[in-house]
Amino acid sequence: MKTLSWLATGVALSGFLVGVAHAAPPAPQARWTIMVYMSGDNNLEDYIVKDIEEELGLAGSDANVKIVALADRGPGYDTSRGNWQTTKLYYVTQGIVADAASAVADWGERNFGAPQTLIDFVTWTKANHPADRYALYFWG
């Protein structure tokens, strides 16, 4: 019975060590991470997609500067890019297309007036895109 127990432990540890050996190296820390909190669940919805693509996407992220946008749209003003209406999280790259498929995550319907939404955004961004310095922009 002891032999079986040791064998099971050895097999379990060997799988763990193989997983560790193939783990991806951590991404290098950027100098800046820019967070853009985009509240467009109103008559500003027309500009959400345009600004992600034409303003933020013009520069895009690189090794020194990461751009992350949390964008919320609503019904009734703009139907471009698949007419998504929930809160989307974007890691902005040069030439980004602000559709649902390009989003890093869909956060469902979030209230941008609720402090917890902002807290969640900042917490997620700092955990996933560490940097020496951070900037937070409020859009809308």
| pTM (predicted TM-score) | 0.78
pLDDT score recorded for residue 96 = 96
Beta bridge partners of 69: 36, 90
Q: Give the separation between CA 61 and CA 34, rounded to whole angstroms.
A: 9
What would the pLDDT profile of 32-76 be if each residue is shown by its tens digit? 999 999 998 888 888 999 999 999 999 999 999 999 999 998 888
Domain ranges in the chain are 30-139
**Backbone region of residue 2 per phi and psi (left: phi > 0; alpha: psi in -120 to 50; beta: other values):** alpha
Classify domain 30-139 at the CATH topology level: Rossmann fold (3.40.50)
What would the pLDDT profile of 78-127 be if each residue is shown by its tens digit? 777 877 889 999 999 999 999 999 999 999 999 999 999 999 999 999 99
